[in-house]
Amino acid sequence: MSDDVVVNGSFVRKTPPGDNRDRLVCTDCGYIQYENPKVVVGSVCTWKEKILLCRREIPPRRGFWTLPAGYLETRETTVDGAMREAYEEALARIEIDALLAVYNIPRISQIQLIYRARLLSPDVAPGPESREVGLFAWEGIPWQDLAFPTVRWALGHFREVRGEKAFATRSNPPGEEG
């Protein structure tokens, strides 16, 4: 597809034989370093009728509100990752109920898995990546200050399945790519 471009040391970006797109290829041994999407895991966590939100202390969107979520770690299940993120961002202990949604965000090479969960206690506090945390009634959610479109989607999808034991996993709203 394109001319070889040295990227890092002995790696070049080129189309390997039999492939259809540029990859990072080692010029010494032919090893192909695949670049894959990042997986984000998180949850819509509730205590009674209130939803846990975290005000971000880190970029991107510092100062805006989000769900407890972040990148999945190596050798971690998606459920364990969502539980870890809730604790890291809000010192929240949660119980996962169901997979709420899978969002595809190709422009930033992300896949987001958002769970429905309940807090085991209303005792939450900011972790190192959060400026503050809070439990919000639906009408008190700071809609204008939500960090990402997927937060709005997840909250809407959560509301759609409220009270349902079983439901179809949601995905990007029609026409939305995040």
pLDDT digits (tens, 9 = 90+) for 32-43: 999 999 999 999
User: Which conformational region is residue 4 in: left (phi greater than 0), alpha (psi within -120 to 50 degrees), or beta?
Assistant: beta
92 and 27 in a common domain: no
Q: Would 42 be classed as within a structural domain? A: yes
Report the pLDDT value the prediction gives residue 1, as an integer from 0 to 100: 45
30 and 42 in a common domain: no
Indicate which CATH number applies to the domain containing 19: 2.20.70
Report the pLDDT value the prediction gives residue 144, as an integer from 0 to 100: 98
141 and 94 in a common domain: yes
pLDDT tens readout for residues 117-135: 999 999 999 999 999 999 9
In this prediction, residue 3 has a pLDDT band, given cuts at 50, 70 and 90, of: low
Q: Would 88 be classed as within a structural domain? A: yes
106 and 70 in a common domain: yes
| More confident of the two residues 131 and 177 | 131
Residue type, 171: S
Q: Would 24 be classed as within a structural domain? A: yes
What mean pLDDT is reported for the chain? 94
pTM: 0.89
CB atoms within 10 A of CB 88: 16
63 and 78 in a common domain: yes
Q: Would 54 be classed as within a structural domain? A: yes
| More confident of the two residues 27 and 79 | 79
Indicate which CATH number applies to the domain containing 47: 3.90.79.10
Q: Would 173 be classed as within a structural domain? A: no
**Alpha-helix runs per DSSP H in the chain:** 78-90, 149-160
22 and 51 in a common domain: no
Number of domains in the chain: 2
| 170 close to 101: Cβ distance less than 8 angstroms | yes
44 and 31 in a common domain: no
100 and 76 in a common domain: yes
54 and 26 in a common domain: no
104 and 31 in a common domain: no
Whether the per-residue pLDDT at 168 is higher than 90: the answer is: yes
d(C-alpha 113, C-alpha 128), whole Å? 22
Q: Would 64 be classed as within a structural domain? A: yes
Whether the per-residue pLDDT at 163 is higher than 60: the answer is: yes
110 and 52 in a common domain: yes
The domain in which residue 9 lies consists of: 1-35
DSSP, collapsed to helix, strand or coil, labels residue 59 as: coil
Q: Would 169 be classed as within a structural domain? A: no
52 and 26 in a common domain: no
Q: Would 166 be classed as within a structural domain? A: no
